[in-house]
Structure 1
């Protein structure tokens, strides 16, 4: 079942504000980045807030998103204190037909409709699934955790079940792993195996250890194979499991840590 916010949400306690004696030695960052790191909004949203004159730092109005700011500075948005918020880590089983964005210029329904009335703070998708794709999609307001998962050096496996319009042979599976050049990029899978087949089509399990835009669809199209369905079933050790379409749940602390390895550890 879909969970509500409130007490069911995993809360990784935010870092305690630095003491005055420590603040002078802390590294400063651009104001927009500090707002994002506090889990208040996205970097682009923060830039807009600052340029619109809605943010004060230690009582002073700041209009430059890159203004150097201590992480422990007193920040207010619209004269309301903007402290660090509790971290949220969620997984969603994205249905086909929804766009992975907060607002769509074409008026299409987005994944955020599935969180309506849940009482969640600002959260952002960690990576994306295109409109026609389904399955496991992560959300968080912890920008450092999200960056660690998305970083190319993390080499975090992403597993997909893909229905194709033909019956594969060993040569096709090998070519998917060898890869093809498309638009100057090498598109290849870490592994490709057959799951099951019918009379005219089959399901493959394809594992990627890198993330390129529409990678599987572009790779298979270059091999003259059409994708009928594409479902992401796992990210690293985290599996979609029995989570129903359109449902979401909170990650437990072990799951949060496991995804952040090896490049990042969840902060206490």
Structure 2
């Protein structure tokens, strides 16, 4: 979004990396946001991205510096800020850290683990998540059998799942032992529980599912439950992986 862009006030606060859009709407309706000294209660009030004089509870609401993090998500945590069922969320891993507002980039379901990104920049998140332009995601998947070559080929050519045809960019056998095996599956778009659904359609059960890479960014030796901030080079690289369409990133 260019500095001269004009949008609703709630969207502008989100684009500045201050909060989510829904949280901005709530703040505005509660009368916590002022523009040029006046309380504004309309989340759709036309506002310039670089407009001065916006305050949240008296504090200047200037755009925040973009921050991006990677977490080695443990199994059993849900990817949400708040869970209505009281389950532990991925934000537990950030307890005590002063990160400001950050949101997950995509999701890993409760039973899945591995590389999960967070940012305060919705524009960067969109570049990573977009099915037509985001970087590939690589997973290592332990299954309860040793798949045949035909089954591996089917994962790449397409599997019918609930009236939808789903396919991986690639699927290969990493190693096998006894009655189980580890597969490497690469997705160039990630639909809801896509890997689990494809394997279930082939009568293969998932024992573990670990995301090990997003584009060129590797999970590496980051301990489970730990996180680190991405470097500027990593941030720019992820949003401009080879073959992807470059999108503007918020300043």
Tell me, what secondary structure is at the counterpart of 1:160? Answer: strand
Taking structure 2 as the reference length, the TM-score comes to: 0.93
2:41 to 53, 57, 63: 63
Cα deviation for residue 84 of structure 1 reads 1.3
* 2:117 matches 1:138: yes
Structure 1 contact 257–265 (Cα < 8 Å) conserved: no
Q: Which residue of 1 aligns with 2:63?
A: 84
1:151 CA displacement: 1.3
* Number of residue pairs matched by the alignment: 245
Structure 2 CA distance for partners of 1:30 and 1:184, relative to 1, 3 Å = farther
Q: CA deviation at 1:182?
A: 2.3
**Match of residue 32, structure 1, among 10, 28, 34:** 10
Matching residue of 2:171: 192
Please provide the CA RMSD for this pair. Answer: 1.5
Bigger mean CA offset, 50-59 vs 216-225: 50-59
Q: Write the distance in 2 (CA, Å) between the matches of 1:182 and 1:60.
A: 53
The CA deviation string for residues 106-151 of structure 1, in whole angstroms up to 9 with x for no partner, is: 1111111111111111110000100000000000001111111111
CA distance in 1, matches of 2:57, 2:101: 17
- CA contact 1:256–1:266 (8 Å) conserved in 2: no
Q: What is the aligned counterpart of 1:45 among 19, 23, 26? A: 23
Q: Secondary structure at the match of 1:153?
A: coil
Name structure 1 gaps, 5 residues minimum: 1-14, 19-25
- Which residue matches 1:110? 89
Q: Which residue of 1 aligns with 2:200?
A: 221
Q: How do 1:112-127 residues align onto structure 2 when only pairs under 5 Å count?
A: 112-127=91-106
- Residues of 2 paired with 1:36 and 1:155: CA distance? 21
> Distance in 2 between the 1:187 and 1:227 partners?
17
Q: Following TM superposition, by how much is the alpha carbon of 1:78 offset from its aligned partner in structure 2, in angstroms?
A: 1.7
Runs of 4+ in 1 over 6 A off after TM superposition: none
1:256 aligns with 2:239: no
Give 1:75 shift: 1.0
Q: In 2, are the aligned partners of 1:135 and 1:232 still within 8 Å (CA)? A: yes
TM-score between both structures, scaled by the size of structure 1: 0.88
8 Å CA contact retained: 1:177, 1:190 = yes
Kept in 1, the 8 Å contact 2:123–2:249? The answer is no
> Structure 2 CA distance, aligned partners of 1:102 and 1:155?
23
In 2, the alpha carbon distance for the partners of 1:142 and 1:76 equals 19
Q: SS of the counterpart of 2:155?
A: helix
**Displacement, 1:264?**
2.6
| 2:230 corresponds to 1:247 | no
Hey, what's the Cα distance between the residues in 2 that align with 1:98 and 1:264? 31
Task: Supply the distance in 2 between the matched residues of 1:185 and 1:69 (Cα, whole angstroms).
Answer: 41
- 2:212, 2:112 → 1: CA distance? 11
Q: Offset of 1:172 from its aligned partner?
A: 0.6
